[in-house]
């Protein structure tokens, strides 16, 4: 059997959880079958059963296009190019709407089964209109078309499965819940601390860590607003880059600048670090905070748990299936509006609750240590890529009988 992956992100061009997912799933599946990855980029490599080829995204034809539509038009163009090479795979597997149009074409033109992994859903990300303008209508159409014509859909959590059933016309038996995973040999506690030294993090003081993109979805502005309620001795390390829009980048800059007027222990690392650097941060952090307002799974939480760090996270989406409240971390309720833009009804209260959770764990090293141990065990028991790859293989096989 041979699987063909279509994806926007693949190393070295990874900026989010979907890219992490594709990298590790492809590597693990390649131990079981032949895997070809077609991605946005300039990759061109073959290692054993795994072949990776990149396709150009920056097509100059669209340089004069409307700024908000440019990314969408380039995306659709790249998806067409990804199908120019002949396909000899038994199944095509797409990741995020950016690659879904390639999957639509592959199914229609080559007649092979289509699998869609729902890393996120456009109807639950209305803030994307800030980034894409009317292009958000195009991305929503692409996603809806791909999901509704797919032969199988992988939901990364039980709640995501319910969201798929709510927003799309699909048969329930086509949806399989398969969690994201982690490389348990790579994500382990390390004593290395060069990254902390590089960015001026004081190892004698506790610190809370955020890792993620600057986007409405990740809720980072709520965490920044929570800083004023945190114990003043707690360092705050924000490993946050790749802003969705200039507007949210400016909002982030202004919010951090305001906080720094009253405390000098807020450290903003505004670029995406490599794995070894992030693992150092996870390993030495006293608390990891995930303040997302929408999160189908939240792979960053299992990364932190694997590195034996207690988690404070918003109780939304798949996070509730990953973090066990009061056992591997604390879940912070998020009373949300029942319609777009799905922001907290009381943003300041949410920020206070985040801070209270962080303060509680910082003040209780015994509880943190217990959560660290239980978090690692939970990851080992439930989120190992080896077992997850076999579930995906079984799903592929079910489409070929």
**Beta carbons of 340 and 317 less than 8 angstroms apart:** no
**Lookup result for tokens 């920056």:** 58
Cβ contact 35:49 at 8 Å: yes
For domain 2-181+384-400, which architecture applies? 3-Layer(aba) Sandwich (3.40)
pLDDT of residue 341: 53
Whether 302 and 310 have beta carbons less than 8 Å apart is answered as: no
Asked if 37 contacts 48 with a C-beta cutoff of 8 angstroms, the reply is: no
Lowest mean pLDDT among 300-309, 337-346, 362-371: 337-346
pLDDT at site 342:
67
Interatomic CA distance for residues 183 and 181, integer angstroms: 7
The predicted-structure confidence for 113-131, as pLDDT tens digits, reads as follows 999 999 999 999 888 888 8
Rg of the chain in Å (alpha carbons): 21
Q: What is the mean pLDDT of the chain?
A: 95
d(CA 209, CA 211): 7
Take residue 133 and report the two structure tokens written for it.
Answer: 């303008």
Percentage of the chain exceeding pLDDT 70: 98
Fold agreement between 2-181+384-400 and 194-382: yes
Q: CB 153: neighbour CB atoms within 10 A? A: 26
How far apart are the C-alpha atoms of 201 and 9, rounded to whole Å?
A: 30
Question: What is the C-alpha to C-alpha distance for residues 44 and 198, in angstroms, rounded to an integer?
Answer: 33
pLDDT of residue 59: 87
DSSP letter string, 184-224: TTTS------HHHHHTT--TTS-EEEEEEESSGGGTHHHHH
Could you give the C-alpha distances from 203 to 90, 187, 206, 238, 389, in angstroms and in order?
51, 20, 7, 16, 38
DSSP 287-302: EEEE--S--SS-HHHH
Query: Helix 97-110 and helix 67-81: axis angle, to 10°?
Result: 40
pLDDT at 311 over 70: yes
Pairwise CA distance, residues 337 & 323, whole Å = 23
What pLDDT score was predicted for residue 16? 84
What φ, ψ does residue 303 adopt, rounded to 5°? -65, -45
337: pLDDT confidence band, cut at 50, 70 and 90?
low
pTM of this prediction exceeds 0.85: yes
Give me the sign of the Cα torsion angle 58, 128, 136, 150: positive
Domain boundaries, the chain: 2-181+384-400, 194-382
194-382: CATH architecture: 3-Layer(aba) Sandwich (3.40)
| CA–CA dist 378, 305 (Å, integer) | 8
Question: Which letter, b or e, does each residue of 167-197 get, where b requires 16 or more Cβ atoms within 10 Å of its Cβ?
Answer: bbebeeeebbbbbbbbbbeebeeeeeeebbe
pLDDT at 362: 98
Question: Which candidate, 282, 350, 272, places its Cα nearest to that of 316?
Answer: 350
Per-residue CA distances from 179 to 161, 271, 362, 370 (Å)? 11, 28, 30, 24
What phi-psi label fits residue 41: left (phi over 0), alpha (psi between -120 and 50 degrees) or beta? left
Q: What's residue 390's pLDDT?
A: 97
Q: What is the pLDDT of residue 285?
A: 98
As a whole number, mean pLDDT of residues 164-177 equals: 98
Residue 168 Cα distances to 99, 143, 161, 176, angstroms:
18, 10, 10, 15
Provide the percentage of residues in the chain whose pLDDT is more than 90. 88
Task: Tell me if residue 325 falls in helix, strand or coil.
Answer: strand
Residues 187-229: pLDDT tens digits? 999 999 999 999 999 999 999 999 999 988 899 999 999 999 9
């Amino acid at each position: 059997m041979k699987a063909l992956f279509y994806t926007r992100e693949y190393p070295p061009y990874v900026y989010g959880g979907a890219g992490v997912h594709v990298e590790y799933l492809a590597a693990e599946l390649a131990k079981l079958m032949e895997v070809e990855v077609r991605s946005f980029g300039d990759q061109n490599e073959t290692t054993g059963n795994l072949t990776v080829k990149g396709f150009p995204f920056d097509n100059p034809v669209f340089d004069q296009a409307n700024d908000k539509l440019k990314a969408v038009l380039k995306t659709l163009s790249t998806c067409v190019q990804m199908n120019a090479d002949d396909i000899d795979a038994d199944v095509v597997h797409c990741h995020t709407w950016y690659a879904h149009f390639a999957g639509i074409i592959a199914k229609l033109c080559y007649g092979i089964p289509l699998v869609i992994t729902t890393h996120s859903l456009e109807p639950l990300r209305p803030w994307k209109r800030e980034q894409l303008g009317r292009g958000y209508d195009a991305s929503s159409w692409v996603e809806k078309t791909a999901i509704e014509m797919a032969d199988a859909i992988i939901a990364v959590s039980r709640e995501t499965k319910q969201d798929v059933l709510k927003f799309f016309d699909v048969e329930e038996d086509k949806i399989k819940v398969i969690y994201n995973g982690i490389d348990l040999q790579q994500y382990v506690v390390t004593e290395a601390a060069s990254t902390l030294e590089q960015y001026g993090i004081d190892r004698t003081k506790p610190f809370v860590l955020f890792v993620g993109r600057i986007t409405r979805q990740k809720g980072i502005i709520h965490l920044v607003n929570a800083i004023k309620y945190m114990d003043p001795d707690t360092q705050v390390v924000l490993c946050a880059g790749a802003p969705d829009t200039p507007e949210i980048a400016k909002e982030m800059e202004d919010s951090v600048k305001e906080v720094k007027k009253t405390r000098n222990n807020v450290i903003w690392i505004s670029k995406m670090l490599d794995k070894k650097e992030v693992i150092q941060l996870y390993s030495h952090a006293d608390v990891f905070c995930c303040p997302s307002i929408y999160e189908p799974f939240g792979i960053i939480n299992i990364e932190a748990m694997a590195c034996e760090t207690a988690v404070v996270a918003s109780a939304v989406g798949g996070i509730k299936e990953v973090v066990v409240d009061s056992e591997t971390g604390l879940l912070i309720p998020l009373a949300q509006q029942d319609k777009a833009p799905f922001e907290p009804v009381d943003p300041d209260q949410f920020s206070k609750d985040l801070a209270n959770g962080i303060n509680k764990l910082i003040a209780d090293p015994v509880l943190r240590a217990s959560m660290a141990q239980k978090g690692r065990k939970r990851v080992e028991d439930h989120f190992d890529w080896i077992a997850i790859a076999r579930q995906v293989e079984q799903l592929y096989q079910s489409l070929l009988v």
